[in-house]
Amino acid sequence: MSDLPHMVSVALQSSATSFDAILMVSNDSRKVRSIAELIPSNLPMRVMTSLSRVRDALEEINIDARVLEEGLSSKGLSILNELYDLVLQGMGERWIAKGGRLLIVLAEPIDGVIMVDTKMLGAERLTAIAEEQAIELDVLIRMLELSRAIGTRGREGTAIGALFAIGNIQKMRGHSTAMVLNPFKGHSEAKRDVRNKENHETLAEFAWLDGAILFNREGIASDAGRYIQVPSGLTPKSGEGGRHLAARAISQLTEGVAIAVSSTGAIVLYANGRERYRVRIK
């Protein structure tokens, strides 16, 4: 049986440099308290749990806790795939410092500790893109979360892709054509905001339409089913499909950002016509 407090103690004592934050994943408030006692008071700690009662119990003793949308107990090793998104989310909320070092403590569904240098996650590239494009980092992170969910789950057992463009709406409309009636027309901004994870299921449904979804720089969706007009002089690069070519084109034509999700498991972010970020999810 693993001794999680001992593992955390060893990690804290043996690390060559100090940590900037602690992220713990657990459905057991007693385990959390045992770990919290080991953490220096000046070191930020956040707990992710899938049980509201655990969050409430921890908040009563001033431990920052958040509720995950999906249960932890059945995840097994798949929890490791979601840690990346949790870390990016923390950076988007500025709870985890840019370029910081993080100690992840897993107590559900498996026990263990993971030391993460966020410089190695590509997060700094996302921060740079957000600053260059005057886009909130949280918008880019939520867009990548949505992209990952679409690429991982597919639809009705079939792998699918998607295309998102972020920037000046009028410019993007000028370089695209409506293929369907705009499903976002008449809906409030709150219902179209990618930063609200409750909207992701709806956004995913519209992403499965042919064409792109257009977002402004605040992450508010304006149009879906837009066909990107690729100039005749812009040709595909080796191994580049139509969706990625369209993403590169719209980001170049409008000096914005586009994200292409391929059915083969790649998410690529383009800015000003250049590939700036790539991650594989399969």
Q: What is the pLDDT of residues 115-124, one digit of tens each?
A: 988 777 666 7
Q: How far apart are CA 161 and CA 219, in angstroms?
A: 20
Cα 240 to Cα 210, 221, 226, 271, distances in angstroms: 18, 26, 20, 16
* CATH code of the domain in which 20 resides: 3.40.1380.20
Same domain, 98 and 150: no
- Nearest in space to 271 (alpha carbons), one of 218, 222, 208, 217: 217
Question: Residue 1: its pLDDT value, please?
Answer: 47
Same domain, 85 and 205: no
State whether residue 29 is helix, strand or coil. helix
Q: Does 21 score more than 60 pLDDT? A: yes
Domain end among 118, 133, 148? 118
Residue % of the chain over a pLDDT of 90 = 54
Q: Which DSSP state fits 69?
A: S
**Mean pLDDT, range 113-141, rounded to an integer:** 84
Domain with 98 in it = 4-118
- Nearest in space to 138 (alpha carbons), one of 190, 85, 179, 183: 85
Same domain, 136 and 102: no
Spatial CB neighbours of 63, under 8 Å, sequence gap ≥ 6: 32, 33, 36, 45, 47
Q: How far apart are CA 55 and CA 151, in angstroms?
A: 30
What's the structural domain count of the chain?
Answer: 2
Question: Residue 273: its pLDDT value, please?
Answer: 94
Instruction: Give all strands of the β-sheet with 45-49 in edge-to-edge order.
Output: 64-67, 45-49, 21-25, 101-107, 111-117
Question: Residue 157: its pLDDT value, please?
Answer: 57
Given pLDDT bands bounded at 50, 70 and 90, which one contains residue 17? low
Q: Which two tokens stand for residue 117?
A: 């240098």
Q: Dump pLDDT digits (tens) for 183-203.
A: 999 999 999 999 998 999 999
Q: Dump pLDDT digits (tens) for 188-245.
A: 999 999 999 899 999 999 988 889 999 999 999 999 999 999 998 888 887 788 899 9
Given pLDDT bands bounded at 50, 70 and 90, which one contains residue 93? confident
Q: Does 90 score more than 80 pLDDT? A: no
Radius of gyration of the chain (CA): 20
Question: Residue 257: its pLDDT value, please?
Answer: 97
Q: How far apart are CA 223 and CA 68, in angstroms?
A: 29
Same domain, 152 and 93: no
Is the CB of residue 137 less than 8 Å from the CB of residue 92?
yes
| Residue whose token pair is 């409030």 | 188
Q: How far apart are CA 31 and CA 264, in angstroms?
A: 39
Same domain, 108 and 211: no
Same domain, 156 and 109: no
Please tell me the least confidently modeled range out of 46-50, 62-66, 108-112: 108-112
**Mean pLDDT, range 78-83, rounded to an integer:** 72
Q: Give the residue, 61 or 116, on which the prediction is more confident.
A: 61
Same domain, 106 and 185: no
Mean confidence (pLDDT) of the chain: 87
Question: Residue 2: its pLDDT value, please?
Answer: 67
Q: Which two tokens stand for residue 108?
A: 């559900």
Q: Does 154 score more than 80 pLDDT? A: no
Q: How far apart are CA 273 and CA 244, in angstroms?
A: 11
Q: How far apart are CA 89 and CA 95, in angstroms?
A: 9
Question: Residue 73: its pLDDT value, please?
Answer: 65
